[in-house]
Amino acid sequence: MHNALDGGWIMADTPTRASEIRNWLQAFIVVTGVAGGFYQFVFREMLLPAAAPINLSTEVTIREAGFRSARGAERNEQFEAIELAVTAKNPSSRDIYLLANCWHVHGLTNTLKSRPNETFAGTVTGDINKRQPINEGAYYEIRKVFLVAAGGAFIQDQILHPNESVSASFVFYVPQDVYDVLHVHVQLPTTAVAHSAEVEWKVTAEGCVESAYRMRNGVRGEPIEDLYKAFLDPAIKFQAASSSKELSLWTREPPAAVTEVSRRAR
């Protein structure tokens, strides 16, 4: 370059290799910082929760709550109050949506046998392998099943955030000394996508019967017939949690006559 002041020539400074490395290093740091922010915000906050499996843990308790003669019943007829409590918790890292749900209770009566059923082992083996309910033991057989109560656990569809839980309790009544066991079954269907599915229930003598449907733009669509495919479908991620519990209605103390016999047997 020519300098007009002294009439000489001056060469402009050229970037050194050190300055080039410094510039590349600064650019690398900037890119790394952007990538780290992308990971924190998009991957950890959006992609990972979306890919995490959804699940719902349920806790069901059933207990005797008292005895009395109910109003409107015959004077010598005693009834028993039963309290049912249902808790649902979202232990996953993403929101889940509770759909319409249902619980039902069957009263069971058993026939007791003084001698063991010699074919019991073979029968129960077949039931287990066929995934059938076990309706007998070596000394008993379930003879009659009656639907005694049913309802919705959580009436309003609700969203459960991560580690959030919801609970409800109900009291129903059964005549005393009629049933040997109460069997309660709770079904809680969920989705990971809001307004993606709808469940309709029908209560029959067998209990709660579920029908699930896709929702498209707020309108009920086709039935969901393959629940496993609906679980894998990212547009729904349908899942159903179910729990069963049984309560014996036998008195805790044996009758006085039986106690007396056992004492004499000693």
**pLDDT confidence of residue 9:** 47
Residue for token pair 């082992």: 121
How far apart CA 189 and CA 85 sit, in angstroms, is: 18
How far apart CA 266 and CA 261 sit, in angstroms, is: 9
pTM of the model: 0.72
DSSP class per residue in 209-227: EEEEEEEETTEEEEE---H
**pLDDT confidence of residue 124:** 85
Tokens of 239: 């899942």
**Which parts of the chain are beta strand (E)?**
57-68, 79-89, 96-98, 102-112, 140-151, 159-160, 165-175, 181-191, 197-204, 207-216, 219-223, 239-248
How far apart CA 153 and CA 56 sit, in angstroms, is: 14
pLDDT of the chain, 266 residues: tens digit per residue: 544 445 554 444 555 666 777 777 777 676 676 666 655 544 454 444 445 455 788 899 999 988 887 676 566 678 999 999 999 999 888 899 999 999 999 999 988 887 878 788 888 888 889 888 777 788 888 888 899 999 999 887 688 999 999 999 999 999 988 999 999 999 999 999 999 999 999 999 999 999 999 999 888 999 999 988 988 899 989 998 889 999 999 876 655 544 333 333 33
Question: In angstroms, how far apart are the furthest CA atoms of the chain?
Answer: 134
Residues 241 and 56: beta-carbon distance below 8 Å: yes
**pLDDT confidence of residue 112:** 83
